[in-house]
């Protein structure tokens, strides 16, 4: 569970018992039902009581050694831990229960509905661990699996039939591209003529 202050100018969410809230009366606090929604509304996680920061502090030595050994990098951000490998990108995020975390994988093939803005192009990997290091171990295992079994290349669709809506759309795109190319050629010719004119005037002056 997370809470926030009622005042609109305090855009931070906290774990109950956060030292920053020691002087705030309980009636001035509101429970945060959904962390992702709060983030989308502009709230940020308090850096003092952030569950991700607390978890990382406990395991950082082991995680850093594991990442250095396996070519993995990570960065602690306000809303998530960003993890990158030579093959993939991931985000470990806070769940609605401060004790839980979730793993999201960058995927440009499909997009999950109702995804918060800070997770655009990521999908829920549907795994949960009580600690952070198992996420990094899972990521390495996932990369090794994909090296052995790469995803099939996306097949190109059949060419559109003449007269169809898709065909007309394609023709319109080609015409726009051709106009853009022609416009760039004209601009390049004008620039070339202006450059030649300047060089001729300089030659006359020096002569």
Per-residue model confidence as pLDDT tens digits over 49-85: 999 999 999 999 999 999 999 999 999 999 999 999 9
Task: Provide the pairing of β-strand 12-14 with 44-45.
Answer: parallel
Give pTM, 2 decimals.
0.69
**157-189 exposure pattern, b = at least 16 Cβ within 10 A, e = fewer:** eeeeeeeeeeeeeeeeeeeeeeeeeeeeeeeee
Per-residue model confidence as pLDDT tens digits over 118-148: 898 899 999 999 999 999 999 999 999 989 9
Residue ranges per structural domain of the chain: 2-45, 51-148, 162-207
Nearest 5 degrees, angle CA 84-CA 88-CA 91? 55
Phi and psi at residue 133, in whole multiples of 5°? Answer: -55, -40
């Amino acid at each position: 569970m997370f809470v926030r202050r009622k005042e609109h100018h305090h855009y931070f969410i906290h774990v109950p018992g956060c030292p920053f809230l020691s002087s705030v009366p309980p009636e001035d606090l509101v429970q945060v039902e959904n962390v992702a929604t709060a983030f989308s509304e502009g709230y940020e996680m308090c850096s003092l009581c952030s569950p991700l920061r607390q978890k990382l502090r406990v395991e950082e030595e082991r995680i850093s050694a594991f990442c250095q050994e396996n070519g993995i990098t990570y960065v602690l951000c306000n809303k998530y831990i960003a993890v990158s490998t030579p093959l993939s990108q991931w985000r470990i995020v806070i769940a609605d229960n401060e004790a839980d975390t979730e793993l999201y994988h960058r995927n440009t093939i499909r997009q999950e509905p109702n995804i918060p803005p800070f997770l655009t192009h990521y999908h829920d990997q549907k795994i949960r661990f009580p600690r952070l290091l198992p996420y990094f171990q899972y990521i390495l295992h996932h990369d090794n699996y994909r090296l052995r079994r790469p995803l099939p290349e996306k097949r190109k669709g059949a060419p559109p039939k003449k007269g169809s809506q898709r065909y007309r759309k394609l023709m319109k795109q080609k015409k726009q591209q051709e106009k853009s190319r022609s416009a760039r050629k004209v601009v390049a010719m004008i620039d070339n003529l202006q450059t030649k004119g300047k060089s001729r005037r300089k030659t006359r002056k020096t002569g």
